[in-house]
Amino acid sequence: MRLFVSEGAPGSLPVLAAAGRARGRAELLISTVGPEDCVVPFLTRPKVPVLQLDSGNYLFSTSAICRRQNL
């Protein structure tokens, strides 16, 4: 899984905290991107935080990302 966050983006802090708690239970790559970087190819506007699953699907909801990382 790959987690994209941006400094100052709403929701980045809770997902980073969840990522810290999940450390060792799942393989997770954390990437810090700029506020205007387009991480998801099919979106016209940037959206972070976003979690890219191993299947290629994306999660955009902060609470869904936190729940997924705590599995």
Regions of the chain short of the pLDDT cut 70: 70-71
| pLDDT at residue number 44 | 79
> Domains of the chain: which residue ranges?
2-70
| pLDDT at residue number 34 | 86
Whether CATH 3.40.50.460 fits 2-70? no
| pLDDT at residue number 61 | 92
Check if the beta carbon of residue 49 is closer than 8 Å to that of residue 43.
no
| pLDDT at residue number 46 | 75
| pLDDT at residue number 70 | 67
| pLDDT at residue number 52 | 94
Q: Return the bridge partners of 68, or none.
A: none
| pLDDT at residue number 41 | 83
